[in-house]
Chains A and B, each alone.
Chain A
Amino acid sequence: MTKAIESIGIAKTFGPVKALENISFSVNESEIFGFIGPDGSGKTTLFRIITTLLLPDEGIMKVLGMNSTTDYKELRKNIGYMPGRFSLYQDLSVEENLNFYATVFGTTVKENYELISDIYSHIEPFKKRLAGKLSGGMKQKLALSCALIHKPRLLVLDEPTTGVDAVSRSEFWDLLGKLRQHNITIIVSTPYMDEAIRCDRVALIQNGKILSIDTPQKIREGFSRKLFTVKSAEKYKLIKTLRNNSDIMTAFPFGDSIHITLLNDKSVNSLSDYLRGKGITDAVISEAEPGIEDRFLELMEKGSTA
């Protein structure tokens, strides 16, 4: 199977800032590949190199078998790009935006309609509305439709779910999943860790470096220690107390509990006594399966102390 994307040693610097350092990875055809990392990690810069909008300072970027630096003209016909902030024409209607992009790519809305029908059906009732007046979730769907309208081989989505409410985010990923059947390769970037499980494979990226690449499952399994959760009604007191305990290696709040790792796993047995001694009587301690975010935090900590 040919690779949809092959990145070898890509680096990019802006002035004193190293936006990307030694980025190497590959994406298979028809895969949904996610880049997970916070703002400033380099995701947008990387995507702009993939879509031929920026030239890398070092390394080679091969997209759909073509070189992104030299073959950009041909490449641009085969990529569907949805940058951050969606870039729709605010003063054109839903319909007009879609028609414009179809025409620019030399096709018509009718030609590839079945590709976007699932997505577009959500916003079709509003087709005369100006794009500027749509809600975040609807803009997202329109931008996706515009990116797909010319049936690209590669779909590049830069933070398509940022700032959008949880329900729309979930629906969006459902729609992406359905696109798989059309043999379109999809790369997505997101700061939301929980969206990683929706991808076939994921690259964790931080400060311009890739921390790990694998399937979400394998990344979770890469967690090097045992993970325990501690729950108590007094969240703040709990976390302060845990931090002061020398047996505890890491303690991070995670929603309704604190995720901890221990220097010596056996000391978990004496933990509830310790907590009771400090005035926390309702602590519930249990072992837990690490999630992607736990692994990400672990890798980040390693990265900063390394």
Chain B
Amino acid sequence: MSDKVIYVKNLVKKFGNFTANDNLSFEVYAGEIFGFLGANGAGKTTAIRILSGLSKPTSGEVNIAGFDAYRETEKIKKNIGYMCQKFSLYEDLTVRENIILYGGIYGMTKSLIRERLSELLAKLRFQEYENRMISALPLGLRQKLAFSVAVLHEPKIVFLDEPTGGVDPITRRQFWESIYETASRGITVFVTTHYMDEAEYCDRISIMNEGKIVALDTPEKLKKQYDADSIEEVFIKIARP
């Protein structure tokens, strides 16, 4: 059985009287693509912030890449990658400058950064964009680049928060192919999305509703369980039973 890279047991997060995460329990394994779905306000963002070491749980066990989420948040941050929809790269820096910056932040050596930089440019076929400002790139390219930067340091887990919002269908699919490729290298991908068809690309998905996890399984098994043709149908059947 592969390693458990994420181990969550009875996670609770409260803000005052409001319980954003209500007793969440799940595990995610190395190299898995795990889809984290749910309506806005269901508690997804709160949970992701805890898993990525940005905030501490109120109670419960949370272990990320072998590190404890209460005491070892700095170690967690060193071993994960993070990409969110709103912001990923600095708009007034060039492609090259962003990569060198993040490489430095991740603590990579200069030679390693240089190596990965040329690998990345070649793989994405970005060579002509090396010295272009991020603000001059179209959205699809930006998102692809942001993802590559998030895994530049080959972390154990990468968290993607709605990475393909608004992007054209071809680029979306190319993006998911890079996700596949990344997962095949043993990096766990933890992704949230509003595109229901993307849920099917995942190995397993969980659906959150009002702070609780109401479903967790492979897409195929969930469709069978709810007698649905698509994850969208599953979603609707869960939300409006």
Chain A interface residues (CB < 8 Å from chain B): 37-41, 135-137, 162-168, 170, 191-194, 206, 235-236, 239, 252-256, 293, 296-297, 300-301
CA distance A128 to B177 in the complex (A): 47
CB of A38 within 8 A of CB of B183, answer no
Contact check, B170 vs A166: say whether CB atoms are below 8 A apart: no
The proximity string for B residues 22-52 relative to A, scoring 1 for CB distances below 8 Å and 0 otherwise, is 0000000000000000111100000000000
- Cβ-defined contact, A300 with B177, below 8 A: no
B158 shortest CB reach to chain A, Å: 16
Residue pair A39, B180 in contact (C-beta under 8 Å): no
A254 vs B199: C-alpha distance when bound (angstroms)? 10
Identify A39's interface contact among B41, B167, B176, B239, CB under 8 A: B167
B89–chain A nearest beta-carbon distance, Å: 16
**A302 → B minimal CB distance (Å):** 12
Do residues B40 and A163 form an inter-chain contact, with CB atoms below 8 A? yes
Cα distance A239–B174 when bound, in Å?
11
Which bracket fits the contact residues of B?
35 or more
Residues of B within 8 A of A194 (CB): 196-197, 232
Other 19 A-B pairs with CB < 8 A, given A136-B41, A137-B39, A255-B230: A39-B165, A40-B138, A135-B39, A135-B40, A136-B39, A162-B165, A164-B194, A165-B39, A166-B194, A166-B235, A167-B39, A167-B235, A168-B39, A194-B196, A236-B177, A255-B197, A255-B200, A296-B169, A301-B170
B201-241 CB mask vs A (1 if < 8 Å, else 0) is 10000000000000000011000000000111001100110
Q: Are A300 and B197 in contact (CB under 8 A)?
A: no
Q: B237 — nearest CB in chain A belongs to which residue?
A: A167
B81-114 interface bits toward A, Cβ cutoff 8 Å, 1 = contact, 0 = none: 0000000000000000000000000000000000
The interface residues of chain B lying within 8 Å CB-to-CB of A162 are: 165-166
Q: Please give the distance in Å from B207's CB to the nearest CB on chain A.
A: 10
6 A-B residue pairs with Cβ-Cβ distance under 8 Å, sorted by A, are A37-B168, A164-B194, A167-B239, A168-B39, A206-B168, A297-B170
Q: How far is the CA of A296 from the CA of B171 in the complex (A)?
A: 13
- In the bound complex, CA of A282 to CA of B170 (Å): 27
Chain A residues with CB under 8 A of B236: 166-167, 170
List residues of B whose CB falls within 8 A of some A CB: 38-41, 138-140, 165-171, 173, 176-177, 180-181, 183-184, 194-197, 200-201, 219-220, 230-232, 235-236, 239-240
Most chain A CB within 10 A, of B168, B181, B219, is at B168
Residues of B contacting A255 in the complex (Cβ-Cβ under 8 angstroms) = 197, 200-201, 230-231
A136 and B230 alpha carbons, distance in the complex (Å): 23
Q: Which residues of B contact A300 (CB under 8 A)?
A: 168-170
Query: Can you name the residue of chain B whose Cβ is closest to the Cβ of A254?
Result: B197
A168: which B residues are within 8 A, CB to CB?
A: 39
CA distance A301 to B173 in the complex (A): 13
Instruction: Indicate if the CB atoms of A163 and B194 lie closer than 8 Å.
Output: yes
Q: Which residues of A contact B138 (CB under 8 A)?
A: 40
Write the nearest CB–CB distance from A238 to chain B, whole angstroms. Answer: 10
A165, B40: Cβ atoms closer than 8 Å: yes
**Given A41-B168, A253-B201, residue A136 in contact with residue B40 (CB < 8 A):** yes
Partner of A236, one of B140, B169, B181, B239: B181
Q: A196 CA to B19 CA in the complex, in Å?
A: 37
A163 and B168 form a contact (CB under 8 A):
no
Q: Across the interface, do A40 and B240 meet the contact criterion of CB distance under 8 Å?
A: no
Q: Which residues of chain B come closer than 8 Å to A167, judged between CB atoms?
A: 39, 235-236, 239-240
The smallest beta-carbon distance between A31 and chain B, in angstroms, is 25
CA distance A256 to B195 in the complex (A): 13
In angstroms, Cα B196 to Cα A256, docked, is 11
A84 CB to nearest B CB, Å: 10
Inside 8 A of B177's CB, which chain A residues have their CB? 236, 239, 253
In the assembled complex, the CB of A88 is this many whole angstroms from the nearest CB of chain B, namely 16
When chains A and B are docked, how far (Å) is the Cα of A191 from the Cα of B85?
Answer: 15
Q: Which residue in A40, A235, A256, A297 is a CB contact (below 8 Å) of B180?
A: A235
